[in-house]
Structure formats: C-alpha cells, structure tokens
A and B are shown apart, each in its own frame.
Chain A
Amino acid sequence: QKEVEQNSGPLSVPEGAIASLNCTYSDRGSQSFFWYRQYSGKSPELIMFIYSNGDKEDGRFTAQLNKASQYVSLLIRDSKPSDSATYLCAVNTGFQKLVFGTGTRLLVSP
C-alpha cells in the first residue's frame, strides 16, 4: 500500500466549476498535510497546508482534512484555465520528511 495515494487523472472540469482533488494516506500518525501545484516542466509551489481536522479556506482554495478517515482534499472554486496543472498531495509522517503522492492532473477547459 502506497503511503500517499492520489488519482492520477486527468480530472477535467469546465471553467467556472468546482474542482475536487482527493488524497488518502496510510500513516495515522501524520501531523501535517500540504497541497502543491506543479505546472509542466516547473517545480512545485505551495498552495495550502492544513494541520487540523476541518476546512481551511484561502481565496478560491479550500483544504479539507479528515484524520479519522485519513483523507485530505483540495477544492478549487471558480476554476480557471490557469489552474490546469498537476496537484501534489504531501504528508508529514514525522522525522522532518514529507511523503508525496504521484499527483492528480487537472484540466480546466474554457
């Protein structure tokens, strides 16, 4: 079982819709959770992090964490073509290291 799992996609949504990206993790002791966006050929850039159960909102982005079910999600409201990218979920399982999922490719069509 992979430590951090994501659906590789692509997830296709029309412009203006809500994109929902999901991530599950295996280590119940995980403390912190991150979403990175990576454009093709570029390095990952941080979108959000979340530490506590519940929702965390930042502009058009909402991260949701459910530790009991071991999943974390990212919602993107009012999706734009510029949101088209690969979204990486990362989990801190301790020891100052992050474990990354393989990413979900999002395509937002005009």
Chain B
Amino acid sequence: DGGITQSPKYLFRKEGQNVTLSCEQNLNHDAMYWYRQDPGQGLRLIYYSQIVNDFQKGDIAEGYSVSREKKESFPLTVTSAQKNPTAFYLCASKRREGTDTQYFGPGTRLTVL
C-alpha cells in the first residue's frame, strides 16, 4: 500500500523546545517537500530535497532544519528559533523527472503551548 505517512498527527510543544516531524514515503519518489499552512492561507514552502543528501531552502526556512539521509525519509525539525511555529505542516513528494505532480501526506498539526 503505497503512500506518504506523517507522524505524529497532532503535536504539542512548549516554547523553547525543538520538535521533529516525521515524513516517510514508499512511492520511490526522489523529491520531497515540506510546507506550512496557516489558517486561511495557502501553502508556503519551507524546505525541499530533490535527491538524497541534498536539500534547498524554501521561502520560509528560518527556524527550521531538515535532513535527507534516505530516499524514503525527510524529517523536519522545528527549532526554538521559529517564533511562531503553530501551524499545519504538510509533507509532499514527487518523482524527480516527468510529471510535476506533488502528492501530500496527511499532515501534522503543531501547537505551541
């Protein structure tokens, strides 16, 4: 059963803590993406990776970090430097070549207490 999984579904963080959001895919996709969505807003790109061991900053990378050690996995760390981290975080993936279609995981809702 192929797809993209994100965990946890809900995450609560105290101010000053780092938290890591998981994203795993078994679609054999090369490229993976992290987006943030705030209420009433569109998706904003945080980081993306087109190949293992390589990633690029998106439009709002400050306060976030990522790694891409395996093709299947692209975890996102929300650091204490991110001043307003409460949001809905979405991971997506796509094949590197051919179609530009991105497919999304179910998302993680992060709330800072």
Q: Does any Cβ of B come within 8 Å of A17's Cβ? A: no
Question: B45, A97: Cβ atoms under 8 Å?
Answer: yes
Give the size category of B's interface with A. 20 to 34
Question: A49, B101: Cβ atoms under 8 Å?
Answer: yes
Q: Does any Cβ of A come within 8 Å of B107's Cβ? A: yes
Q: Does any Cβ of B come within 8 Å of A69's Cβ? A: no
Chain B residue contacts of A42, Cβ below 8 A = 106-107
Q: Could you tell me which residues of chain A, from 58 to 81, have a CB within 8 Å of some CB in chain B? A: none
Give the size category of A's interface with B. 20 to 34
- Binary per-residue interface labels of chain B (80-104) against chain A in the complex, 1 for a CB within 8 Å, 0 otherwise: 0000000000100000100111111
Chain B residue contacts of A8, Cβ below 8 A = 40
Question: B58, A97: Cβ atoms under 8 Å?
Answer: yes
Query: When A and B form their complex, what is the total count of cross-chain residue pairs whose Cβ atoms lie within 8 Å?
Result: 50
Question: B31, A96: Cβ atoms under 8 Å?
Answer: yes
Complex Cα–Cα for A88 and B44 (A) = 12
Chain B residue contacts of A44, Cβ below 8 A = 43, 90, 104
Chain A residue contacts of B104, Cβ below 8 A = 36, 43-45
- Binary per-residue interface labels of chain B (35-47) against chain A in the complex, 1 for a CB within 8 Å, 0 otherwise: 1000011111100
- Binary per-residue interface labels of chain A (1-40) against chain B in the complex, 1 for a CB within 8 Å, 0 otherwise: 0001000100000000000000000000001101010000
- Contacts A43-B105, A44-B90; A102 near B48 (Cβ below 8 A): no
Closest 5 CB pairs of A and B: A100-B42, A102-B42, A43-B104, A100-B43, A92-B100
Q: Which residues of A contact B (CB under 8 A)?
A: 4, 8, 31-32, 34, 36, 42-46, 49, 88, 90, 92, 96-98, 100-103
Q: List 9 A-B contacts (CB under 8 A).
A: A34-B102, A44-B90, A44-B104, A45-B104, A49-B99, A49-B101, A90-B102, A98-B45, A100-B43
Q: Which residues of B contact A (CB under 8 A)?
A: 31, 33, 35, 40-45, 48, 50, 58, 90, 96, 99-107
